[in-house]
Structure 1
Amino acid sequence: MSDQFTFTVTNKTELTITELWVSVDDEEWASFNLGDSGIPSGETATIAWAEYTNGSPCEWYISAVFEDGSETESALFNFCKEPALTIG
């Protein structure tokens, strides 16, 4: 049994999400590896947190970057209460 925590991201935009960034303080950011295909429009991906985040708080800022280089505003998200995120 894995202790790794996961969450899902559903892309409801017209563009592929190529990068997903998270931050505890909205200043220092870390990215998730979304692979070569990213998260295509209309798709849902399951993403695993790195083990070092296991002792972290539930609330993280999150931002997505799209295939055209545009990005979402960072938004505070509680991953303990809502492990399913929809972008778009």
Structure 2
Amino acid sequence: MSDQYTFKVINETDLAITELWVSLDDEDWAEFELGESGIPSGETVTIAWAEYTNDSPCEWYICATFEDESESDSAIFNFCEEPALVFS
């Protein structure tokens, strides 16, 4: 059995998500590795948390950067309760 925690990201925008960022305090941000293609428009991907976050709180700020370099607003997301994060 794996102790790795995952969540789904659903991209309902017209642009690919090229970067996905999380923060506990909305100031210090860490980036998820999305690979070269990022998250294409219309796609759903499963992303794994790094093992060092296993004892972290449930609520994190999250934001995305898109292929045109625009950014979503940061929002608090409860990763313990919500199985999927939708960008629309």
TM-score by length of 1: 0.99
Structure 2 counterpart of 1:80? 80
Deviation at 1:83, TM superposition (A): 2.1
RMSD: 0.4
Aligned to 2:16: 16
What are the superposed Cα offsets for residues 43-82 of structure 1, whole Å, 9 maximum, x if unpaired? Answer: 0000000000000000000000000000000000000000
SS in 1 for 2:21: strand
Unaligned runs of 5+ in 2: none
Q: Which amino acid aligns with 2:79?
A: F
Q: Which residue of structure 1 aligns with residue 5 of structure 2?
A: 5
1:65 aligned residue: 65
SS at match of 1:52: helix
Match in the other structure for 1:29: 29
Amino acid at match of 2:33: N
Identity %: 74
Letter in 1 for 2:23: S
Aligned to 1:45: 45
Write the distance in 2 (CA, Å) between the matches of 1:40 and 1:56: 29
5+ residue gaps in structure 1? none
**For the residues of structure 2 that align with 1:26 and 1:71, how far apart are their CA atoms?**
14
Query: Any runs of at least 4 consecutive aligned residues in structure 1 with deviations exceeding 3 A, and if so which?
Result: none
